Amino acid sequence: MSSETTDRPTEPSRWQPLTAVQRRVLGVLVEKAKTTPDAYPLTVNALTNGCNQKSNRSPKMELETYEVEECLGQLRQLNVVVEIWDSGRVPKYRHDAYDWLDVDKQEMAVIVELLLRGEQTVGELRGRAARMEPIADMSALRPILASLEEKGLLLPLTSAGRGQLVTHSLYQDAERSTLLSQFENELPGTATVQSERLPPPIVPITSAPEVTLDMYSELQVELAEVQAEVSRLRSRLERLESLDEEGSETDS
């Protein structure tokens, strides 16, 4: 049964910062609604497995069922998750994130990827979000990012460009401050901009010591001595070879 709602809301968005576990649970609900609609809404067990899966998740989590149940209660109080009782005995859960965030399908796909993986480059984001909604290329992604930023849902971490890092704005204050401090020098207008950084100090090059006439004369003498020693060794080697040949002739 698929019950993913996509109608645009008529009321202002109601979103607010979420904890890491709340972001993971909400992200999984939206992801599964898009990628496995036949298995949606989700039971607590299915949702727990989705939160703990190894692929498409960062950071990895090992949540217990009771932690997910507790989180679902919190998200229900925020009116972003709904509990439903179908024909079975086990409750299931669906999201109401379209109204809560005031986004369309493509914007939701982008936000969900950021909720599930955290900060990433816009190039990575396009490819990953495209598994849920078609986003053909970067030119198709840019207006989506612009709309999300205008709504306060997208947080740029580095300057614009294909390698730009972005994330969502649903972090709580402490997390947000910590994250921004890691990239405080990467955006225009911050305390230290790369183009304004001072160049490294110039280290003076020490010139080679000057060779005087006396030093040159000494080197000449040393060279002559080495050459004479080589000549003596060569003569000695020749004598040894001559003796060796004479010995060989005598033996024969």
| DSSP output for 84-110 | E--SSSS-EEEE-HHHHHT--HHHHHH
pLDDT at 15: 94
Q: What are the tens digits of pLDDT across the range 177-233?
A: 999 998 887 665 544 434 344 455 554 555 555 555 556 666 766 777 777 778 778
pLDDT at 227: 77
pTM: 0.69
C-alpha dihedral sign at 226, 229, 235, 236: negative
In 3D space, the residue among 153, 33, 27 whose CA is nearest the CA of residue 94 turns out to be 33
Backbone region of residue 57 per phi and psi (left: phi > 0; alpha: psi in -120 to 50; beta: other values) = beta
Average pLDDT of span 45-53: 97
Q: Which domains does the chain carry?
A: 14-102 (1.10.10.10), 104-184 (1.10.10.10)
Q: What are the tens digits of pLDDT across the range 130-163?
A: 999 999 999 999 999 999 999 999 999 998 877 8
pLDDT at 101: 97
> In angstroms, rounded to a whole number, what is the distance separating the alpha carbons of residues 161 and 168?
17
